Amino acid sequence: MANKTDGQQALWTLNIPDFFPLSPNRLIGKHKMVYANHRRLVRRAIYNAIGHEPTPKFTGRPSVLVMRLYGKGKRPWDQDNVTAAIKPIVDTLRGGKTKTPMKPLELFEDDTTKHIKLLPVVQRKSPDGRTWTRIMVSGTLAPKVEVQHGPGQQIELDAQIDEALHRCD
């Protein structure tokens, strides 16, 4: 499907094994450095899962979905807690400046509702008993961007997030 930017529709998926950010309930009342260290930990987990592979750049208003696949002995969180827990993930994916050496990935311009459609966080029981974080971004790729398949990420042309959700069942 071509539009004014001649970009192509894509679904970018990133799986982060054995990881999900802490619940805000576990961070409330902690020193600001605990919160800052947690944000660095989230950013490092995302960068380690991507490796050295290039990331796509999306234009327009891409859809962003974060899934929490919880493992043995765990249960789903309240929706407000799981939504607040993904803030460091969305901040790492967005564009913009940061004071840390690890810059944002710049998958999309900003994390406001004008620039992305943030879908409700989905929680499912993990089939392998481990905790996973799955991040999916769907939208129009920026023109002249080449994306390669690599460890921890996957591009599927003309795919929809709904289809990806059904494959997780």
* pLDDT tens digits for range 27-60: 888 898 988 899 899 999 999 999 888 888 998 8
The CA–CA distances, whole Å, from 101 to 22, 43, 97 equal 22, 11, 10
Task: Provide CB contacts within 8 A for 7, sequence distance 6+.
Answer: 59, 140, 141, 142, 143, 145
What are the tens digits of pLDDT across the range 52-92? 888 889 988 999 999 999 988 899 999 999 999 999 999 99
What is the helix (H) or strand (E) element at residue 35, kind and residue range? helix 32-50
Selection from 31, 120, 144 nearest residue 68 by Cα: 120
Structure tokens at 42: 């989230």
Q: Which pLDDT does position 52 carry in this prediction?
A: 83
Q: Which pLDDT does position 109 carry in this prediction?
A: 87
Q: How far apart are CA 62 and CA 9, in angstroms?
A: 10
Q: Which residue(s) pair with 132 in the sheet?
A: 17, 69
Q: What is the CA radius of gyration of the chain?
A: 16
Can you give the pTM of this predicted structure? 0.77
Q: How far apart are the first and last CA of the chain?
A: 28
Whether 102 shows a pLDDT value over 70: the answer reads no
CATH code matching the domain that covers 9-168, chosen among 3.30.1330.70, 3.50.50.60, 3.40.50.300, 1.20.140.10: 3.30.1330.70
Q: Is 156 left (phi over 0), alpha (psi -120 to 50) or beta?
A: beta
What are the tens digits of pLDDT across the range 118-169? 999 999 999 888 999 999 999 988 875 455 444 443 333 334 455 555 555 4
Instruction: Enumerate the domain spans of the chain.
Output: 9-168
